[in-house]
Chain A
Amino acid sequence: NAGVMQNPRHLVRRRGQEARLRCSPMKGHSHVYWYRQLPEEGLKFMVYLQKENIIDESGMPKERFSAEFPKEGPSILRIQQVVRGDSAAYFCASSPDRDQPQHFGDGTRLSIL
């Protein structure tokens, strides 16, 4: 009974490159959430998705960031033209319904050179 799977665990990019972070939710979970943890700060909500739909992206920067959760395959968080300030740990969580406990993956640590 695998948990939430995120890959890669660590990702290094140079300024201006693209970063793609993947998240496979727990089996039976159709609700996916992305959070970002900046150094010395708490986790902040970015985006909430259900299969093929973005429900709330109010926590995601308007430019360069996008997220999807296709009918088949993992959820993807995409960051275009990365900058140093994008360096953070990005966590994905999933739940079977919106008011059920969220289960977290181990995160992707993104470093920008």
Chain B
Amino acid sequence: KQEVTQIPAALSVPEGENLVLNCSFTDSAIYNLQWFRQDPGKGLTSLLLIQSSQREQTSGRLNASLDKSSGRSTLYIAASQPGDSATYLCAVNSGYALNFGKGTSLLVTP
């Protein structure tokens, strides 16, 4: 059974800092890994999807990496802004059902 863990559970940084969110998973037999953002009371916004054959994906200030053999992914956020404050979720696709971590709650202070 796929277990997904996200560290840290919560993070508070001043505006402008670069930061790294971590995700680990127990079964390396995956199709892809997706990073989402969830705002309070809202749904999930897909940020980046990395296929199992890829090592990283980039979108604007976001960069996600995948090391399938070690069961790890990181989400790098450059030059953080208060608008980045949200919960970030890592989800692993081992078939079609996504297995989610519990998320990292990020607060970027002005």
Contact = CB atoms under 8 A, between A and B. Distances in A.
A4 B100 CA distance: 19
Nearest to B102: A42
A29 B98 CA distance: 17
Contacts, number: 58
Interface in A83-107: 91, 93, 98-99, 101-107
B80 interface: no
Given A101-B46, A104-B44, A106-B42, A45 B102 contact: no
Q: Most A CB atoms within 10 A — which of B44, B45, B89, B98?
A: B44
A56 B43 contact: no
A43 B100 contact: yes
A101 B34 contact: yes
Binding site secondary structure of chain B: strand
Interface residues of B, number: 24
B100 A104 contact: no
Interface string B25-67: 0000001101010000111111001000000000000000000
Interface string B77-110: 0000000000001010101111111110000000
Contact of B96 (A41, A42, A98, A107): A98
A33 interface: yes
A69 interface: no
A103 B45 CA distance: 7
A109 B43 CA distance: 11
15 contacts: A4-B43, A35-B100, A42-B100, A42-B101, A42-B102, A43-B44, A45-B97, A55-B96, A56-B96, A91-B43, A93-B98, A99-B93, A101-B49, A104-B44, A109-B41
